[in-house]
Amino acid sequence: MPVPFLRHACQNWSVPAKLDNANTETAFRTCPLCEAGCGLELTLDASRSKVVRTRGDQEDVFSAGFLCPKGTTLGHLHEDPDWLRGPMLKVDGEFREATWDEAFGYINDRMPPLVESNGPDCVAVYMGNPSAHSLAPMFLNRTLLKAVGTKNRFSASTVDQRPKEISAALMFGSVAVPVPDLNRTDYILMLGANPYASNGSLCTAPDFPGRLERIQERGGKVVVVDPRLSETAKKADQHLAIRPGTDAHLLAAIASTLLAEGLADPSNVADHCAGLEELPALLGPFTAQSVAKVVGIPAELIRQVARDLAAAPTACVYGRIGTCTQEFGTLASWLVDVVNILSGNLDKEGGAMFAKGATGQPSTKGKPGSGRGFTMGRANSRVSGLPEAFGEFPVTALPEEIEAQGEGQVRALITVAGNPVSSNPNSLRLDAALASLDFMVSIDPYINETTRHADVILPPPSPLQKSHYDLALLNFAVHNVANYSPPVLGLEPDQLSEGTIMLRLASIFLGAGPDSDTAATDDAIAAMMLGSAVQNPTANVAGRDVEELLELLRPSTGVERLLDILLRTGPYGDGFGSNPEGLSLAVLEANPHGVDLGPLLPGRIPDLLRTPSGKIEIAPELIAKDVERLAKSLARDPEESLVLIGRRHIRSNNSWMHNLRVLTKGRNRCTLQIHPTDAKHAGLTDGKMATVTSRVGSVSLDVEVTEGIRPGVVSIPHGFGQNMEGVRLRIASDYKGVNTNVLTDEYLRDELSGNIALNGVPVSVSAG
């Protein structure tokens, strides 16, 4: 049954097609392309190999028919002639097709000797964004990383959400990120997010825009903080055009206004909060008056937002990429939750709440109410000494780790679902560094800016050929659901599953050779996962026998078996019989539109806390120290230079979907947005070219003069610029776009997390 709060078929971007219904077949499938996880209804033709129509699944328990233009493209991706069908081997600088045995044989000849001579740290691994949307990397990344044994682990997380993960883990003891209760809130303050384009992030909400509109329909208020008049800001009740990189200042001033004006009422969680008494002194320097010039918003407006937040019956603050990828990313992320707590809205209906995903999270495992908490900096990167967090170093360290000679130098790279030459800062430096590697392997379907440097490319099957479950993202959902999709199409005889590819690669590092039997590793992983469940005294399988449970799972194998284990031992699980009404993969298979597990529940605190104190640490030491850096920045002159920010478009998905004509057609979307005053000052004309220059690089692109951006700020979307030599993306390479990360600066980062500051990069512009 569709959930009642959703409007049906909010938008229908279906591919028009005349269908001979007698000969078609319908499949239901969660869209894996972004975090919204919309349910799709796919119609296959008589041959059962071609998608002839894609619509939103009206009966999906979460998306109820909603989809965006990207959701219609799974069939196009499957048929994209540039999507590699088999491995590619680089011989004498040229790619040629190879068999899987050849490809793994070649890796086996090259990798182990490198590791033997230089140690495992000579291999770096980079995991990209689609690995969060695909079951095999979600389950097996750790197996691969452990097999390689390197400390040089990198991922797209440090050009993205790492600051939020760190602030949540410091406060709550694990990555339990509160999400805005969009379905019930009366007031949302949204910073650095544009869900009309992105469909939301760290907040899983199909039809995020529709949910915002319903806040307004029920008399609530949507307030957007963004240097641009984004699509979301246009629809908002109030738009605050903040100066980039100053969200922490703004939020600190809102928090201190709540405290100073006696509006703070954290009573619903105060008993479970440590450090509340430290806040007035910590945030004291950030009054509405003292930050106004830096943030570029009048003091009276800042006070008004604080008062509105406090007065609303329920309210929530939500910050996303704009608040993370900036100089004070961790502080801004922390302050989002500080304001949620001070305004009395954390863990409350209509406020900022915690999802409870069906596959379990650290906050639902182990002893309720306390844990080991979170530590970072257990290792430091070799060259710049950047701190590890969650077992990874910030990606800004990758180029120098490749370039700087000496013990521990990175000489080889494995990329899994990542395109760092497009997505990482100072991309031309990284590009040159990759060209200097001794060996590189990419698990990736395309020859793009990054993988053109690989010696071997191992392509996964298309999304239609994979099963799907949003293992991570449903832990950040605005309504608890579980939804599994089996593969729509089978593998071709010469294709390997992404899981098999990952396990065969891992086996090479484990010394088992290029053609080892992955079934044994697959069994071992399942046994290990069950082993940790039965040893957990609070699990629903505590004390059970692993062999018995493995037997109950037969004949299932692979990622489906691992998913079944998590579901059955998870918070709603059937416990392998102890809770017969509970969830298992079989239950999800019988419910192709998903299972509705109910609205988010309040009162999750203190049980979900995993801090050693068993309290919310509202003023963690690392953060309190970083507030000094924020205070110092109040003295800066904010008008020094033009600054660059990014943006997204609904028809684009990071760097890798520009090869589909159906999405790229229409006007050029990779333009330099600039305010008329700045354009005039620099002599720029709408529709003509401009050159943008930063400390590290320079690009030339079309100018789009618009009132919809703050003076002093320019914007270029990321993910474009596939026209590099050696890229084999016929349509994307023809697109008129540039890579904005040629301009972003790897040394401009959030000091606490090491995360890159992609927003607020000083640039200059000139005509031509």
Ligand X SMILES: Nc1nc2c(c(=O)[nH]1)N[C@H]1C(S)=C(S)[C@@H](COP(=O)(O)OP(=O)(O)OC[C@H]3O[C@@H](n4cnc5c(=O)[nH]c(N)nc54)[C@H](O)[C@@H]3O)O[C@H]1N2
The secondary structure of residue 115, as a DSSP letter, is H
| Spatial separation of the C-alpha atoms in residues 556 and 563, rounded to whole Å | 10
Q: Which amino acid is at 48?
A: R
Residue numbers at the binding site for ligand X (CB under 6 A): 34-35, 128-130, 134, 156, 159-160, 191-195, 197-199, 201, 225-228, 230, 242, 244-245, 247, 320-323, 326, 416-420, 422-423, 443-446, 448, 460, 498, 645-650, 652-656, 718-719, 740-741, 744, 758-760
Q: Verify binding: residue 582, ligand SF4, rule CB under 6 A.
A: no
In the complex, minimum distance from the CB of residue 278 to ligand X, in angstroms, rounded to a whole number: 26
* Helices and strands counted in the chain (H then E): 25, 26
Q: Is 370 buried (19+), middle (13-18) or exposed (0-12) by CB count in 10 A?
A: middle
Closest to ligand X by CB, 31 vs 616, is: 31
Cα-based torsion angle of the residue sequence 473, 475, 479, 483 in order, rounded to the nearest 10 degrees? 60
In the complex, minimum distance from the CB of residue 129 to Mo ion, in angstroms, rounded to a whole number: 5
Q: Which amino acid is at 116?
A: E
Closest to ligand X by CB, 272 vs 675, is: 675
The secondary structure of residue 228, as a DSSP letter, is B
Partner whose footprint covers residue 272, from Mo ion, ligand SF4, ligand X, none (CB < 5 to 8 Å by kind): none
Residue 83: both structure tokens together? 């999507």
| Spatial separation of the C-alpha atoms in residues 254 and 345, rounded to whole Å | 14
| Spatial separation of the C-alpha atoms in residues 356 and 341, rounded to whole Å | 20
In the complex, minimum distance from the CB of residue 718 to Mo ion, in angstroms, rounded to a whole number: 10
Residue whose token pair is 């329920």: 314
Site string for ligand SF4, 56-85 (x = CB under 6 A): -----------xx-xx--------------
Q: Verify binding: residue 160, Mo ion, rule CB under 5 A.
A: yes
Residue in 27, 31, 508, 732 binding ligand SF4, rule: CB under 6 A: 31
Q: Verify binding: residue 38, ligand SF4, rule CB under 6 A.
A: yes
Q: How many residues bind Mo ion (CB under 5 A)?
A: 1
Q: Verify binding: residue 88, ligand SF4, rule CB under 6 A.
A: no
* Cβ contact 331:627 at 8 Å: yes
Residue 261: both structure tokens together? 């004006």
Residue in 2, 6, 37, 672 binding ligand SF4, rule: CB under 6 A: 37
Q: Verify binding: residue 477, ligand SF4, rule CB under 6 A.
A: no
Residue 465: both structure tokens together? 């050929």
* Cβ contact 14:27 at 8 Å: no
Q: How many residues bind ligand SF4 (CB under 6 A)?
A: 12
In the complex, minimum distance from the CB of residue 74 to ligand SF4, in angstroms, rounded to a whole number: 9
Q: Verify binding: residue 165, Mo ion, rule CB under 5 A.
A: no
Q: Which residue, among 631, 645, 725, 698, has the nearest Cα to 227 in the 3D structure?
A: 645
Closest to ligand SF4 by CB, 37 vs 582, is: 37
Partner whose footprint covers residue 31, from ligand SF4, ligand X, Mo ion, none (CB < 5 to 8 Å by kind): ligand SF4
Residue 174: both structure tokens together? 């694990």
Q: Verify binding: residue 594, ligand SF4, rule CB under 6 A.
A: no
Cβ contacts of 437 within 8 Å, gap of 6 or more? 402, 410, 411, 412, 413, 453
Closest to ligand X by CB, 153 vs 593, is: 153
Residue whose token pair is 């392997």: 441
Closest to Mo ion by CB, 160 vs 401, is: 160
Backbone dihedral region for residue 67 (phi beyond 0: left; psi -120 to 50: alpha; all else: beta): beta
Q: Verify binding: residue 27, ligand SF4, rule CB under 6 A.
A: no
Q: Verify binding: residue 130, ligand SF4, rule CB under 6 A.
A: no
In the complex, minimum distance from the CB of residue 671 to ligand SF4, in angstroms, rounded to a whole number: 22
Q: CB nearest Mo ion: which residue?
A: 160
Beta pairing class for 187-191 and 316-319 = parallel
Binding site for Mo ion (CB under 5 A): 160
Q: Which residues bind ligand SF4 (CB under 6 A)?
A: 31, 33-34, 36-38, 67-68, 70-71, 199, 206
